[in-house]
Amino acid sequence: MIQKITKQVTAKKIAVKKVAVKKVAAKKAVPAKKTAVKKVATPKKAAVKKTVAPKKVAAKKGAEKKTVVKKATIIKAVLPSKTSKKKKKVTVDNAELLVELIIIGMQEKKAQRITVLDLRDVENAVTDFFVISQAESTTQVDAIADSVWEEVRKNADEKPFHIEGKQASEWVLLDYVNVVAHVFQPDAREHYNLEKLWSEAVITRIKD
């Protein structure tokens, strides 16, 4: 009986030792898992850093493109203002050029008795020049007025401030501010007689 009890106690001790061994094995297994977690975590952090860096570089490149666009828009904004100033100078300083273009436009449609009145030295004058002509019919009056409009637009890039008389076509007036073109029918020209009304002007008659 004593030997059986001794064997049972011994067997229990051995069993307890085996359980202890299992516990040790479990303890060993836990650090292994922890190290595995550390190994996995480390590559993820590195991967995140690598992906962030290229985005920052891409943003800088995008910023460079934006600066280029701004420079281009500034250049485009400056150029039209310079050309517009030149066009204004043509209108203000070159009244004589407008007179020449108006005469050419009139001659294109065979206007008669073309006369230029220089009013620059006349007191209380409404403009610098009158250019006067006449035509035999309302159709020709319209054609001369249209020819003057087109000639000045093409060669001086100017349009009349306003046009009067197109409905009746007995007397059409094209007002370029410092030069005014008049296209009459003969009776209307004699009636208004601008040459006599502005007799103080320097009068130049253009040959037909």
What pLDDT, in 10s, does the model give residues 117-172? Answer: 999 999 999 999 999 999 999 999 999 999 999 999 999 999 999 999 988 889 99
| For the chain, domain boundaries | 1-90, 94-205
Bridge partners of 80, per DSSP, are none
At residue 208, the pLDDT reads 81
**Residue matched to tokens 């860096």:** 53
In Å, the largest CA–CA distance within the chain is 163
Assign 59 a pLDDT band (cuts: 50, 70, 90): very low
Of 55-64, 111-120, 181-190, the least confident:
55-64
As a whole number of angstroms, the distance between CA 30 and CA 95 comes to 101
As a whole number of angstroms, the distance between CA 190 and CA 192 comes to 6
Mean pLDDT of 61-75: 38
- The burial class, CB within 10 Å (0-12 / 13-18 / 19+), for 191 is exposed
At residue 15, the pLDDT reads 52
What pLDDT, in 10s, does the model give residues 84-96? Answer: 333 333 444 589 9
**Residue matched to tokens 């059986």:** 4
As a whole number of angstroms, the distance between CA 142 and CA 167 comes to 9
At residue 93, the pLDDT reads 55
Whether the per-residue pLDDT at 103 is higher than 80: the answer is yes
Which one is the CATH code of 94-205: 3.40.718.10, 1.10.3720.10, 3.30.460.10, 3.80.30.20?
A: 3.30.460.10
As a whole number of angstroms, the distance between CA 72 and CA 69 comes to 5
Tell which wins on pLDDT, 4 or 72.
Answer: 4
